[in-house]
Amino acid sequence: MRLLIDENIPCAVDAFGSLGAVRTMAGRDITSAAVRDADVLLVRSVTPVGPALLDDSEVQFVGSATIGTDHVDQGYLRRRGIAFAHAPGSNARSVVEYVLAALLHLITKSETALRGRTAGIVGCGNIGQRLADRLPALGVRVLRNDPPRAAAEGPAGFVGLEEVLRTADIVTVHVPLTTAGPHPTHHLFDTDTLAALQPSAWLINTARGAVVDNAALDAALPHGPPARAVLDVWEGEPAPRVSLLKQVALATPHIAGYAYDGKVRGTQMLHDALCAHLGRSPVWSKEAALATDAAAFTLTPPDPSLPEAAYLHALVRQMYAITTDDAALRQLIALPAGAQGSHFSNLRKTYRRRRSFARYTIAAAEVPPAYHTAVARGLGVQLV
């Protein structure tokens, strides 16, 4: 069996080498010629999978190590009889931790408090629901907006987008990118939607770039709302709109879900799915890849006299310094247009090994008792 795998899927050779001959390459370089002789194709979100890629191939199984599937023409795969699997929920914790890091950075920089704010979570699937579960431990009121879930489960516990725009001072977006159906999300945040935000609102997009109309956001930011924006995803990737990049409060190269733990979980999910497709028992486990040196994951207690948000920010910076990713992407601004896309892609390809907050511990006796809930339930750090 011949397997072609995106080189950004970790542990590919270890996980799939016993199943066949593994070849890896950059996801954006995977072409119809590259897949022609492959039996199995494993990708991430940068590889569009459909007729143009697979018509002349022998591929019988496609896997995407991602939560989202908008880059995969699943109808085409079904018509061709090609099996498909993806990794829902694999990087949910990573994205939640990115949002928490962004919020604590913005709060600390503005010298305000996180406790007492209202967050509107637009899209309450694997990621949005996890975030909704975490934020109350940080003193944040949560409004959940998810029309498909509200239709399926009943309206209790959900609010309309209009209420989110009218009420929330933090709006964080976690919807799939869709262009059809009763609730399309392409340009869900357009000129009118952005104008309906509270003047002081912060907008965070870690979903897909086109959920937010980047031209409209570029035009809105000098005047507000939103007052500040955090973008991890961009229309036109891997070449984001430079004028918008200059304006946002935090800019990162589509890496919110790139914590190593989540990526390895995605590998495990594809490995298990492929083994099931082949009628074989799984032969690889993620545990060895995720093993840690406990000493390396012990946090240094911050100054206990710090206000809560500053204390939490000091902890988070030991685990994930989001400003490092921001600074790396902003180097793109000085590059010629022809080199910007390569810079964006290379940041993703060479991304450092960031670990989940859940891997870290801190001595409970070193944490002010009033902050225990925020540290343990909000951030997900282990108190020992």
H or E element in which residue 361 lies = strand 361-362
User: Would you say residue 205 has pLDDT above 70?
Assistant: yes
User: Would you say residue 63 has pLDDT above 70?
Assistant: yes
Enumerate residues 6+ apart whose C-beta is below 8 A from 224. Answer: 199, 200
H or E element in which residue 53 lies = helix 51-54
- Tell me whether domains 2-86 and 92-251 share a fold: yes
> What is the reported pLDDT for 288?
84
Q: Pick the catalytic residue: 208, 228, 343, 354?
A: 208
* Fold held by 2-86: Rossmann fold (3.40.50)
Q: Which percentage of the chain shows pLDDT scores above 70? A: 99
User: What letters, b where the CB count within 10 A reaches 16 and e where it falls short, cover 70-104?
Assistant: bbbbeebbeebebbbbbbebbbbbbbbbbbbbbbb
Residue 293 confidence class, pLDDT cut points 50, 70, 90: low
> What is the reported pLDDT for 347?
97
Give whole-number Cα distances, 293 to 261, 289, 297, 299, 359, in Å. 14, 12, 7, 13, 10
> What is the reported pLDDT for 294?
65
Active site (annotated) includes residue 186: no
Distance of CA 162 to the CA centre of its chain: 25
What is the C-alpha to C-alpha distance for residues 3 and 1, in angstroms, rounded to an integer? 7
Could you say which of 1.10.3720.10, 3.40.50.720, 3.40.50.1820, 3.30.360.10 is the CATH number of the domain covering 92-251? 3.40.50.720
Q: Pick the catalytic residue: 174, 237, 265, 354?
A: 237
User: Would you say residue 61 has pLDDT above 70?
Assistant: yes
Cα 219–180–87 angle (5° rounding)? Answer: 95
What is the C-alpha to C-alpha distance for residues 308 and 327, in angstroms, rounded to an integer? 26
Q: Pick the catalytic residue: 93, 105, 254, 313?
A: 254
Active site (annotated) includes residue 208: yes
Residue with tokens 């995605």: 266
Residue 68 confidence class, pLDDT cut points 50, 70, 90: confident
Q: Whose CA is closest to 348, among 325, 332, 318?
A: 325
Domain spans, the chain: 2-86, 92-251
User: Residue 238: is the preceding peptide bond cis (ω within 30°)?
Assistant: yes
Residue 125 confidence class, pLDDT cut points 50, 70, 90: very high
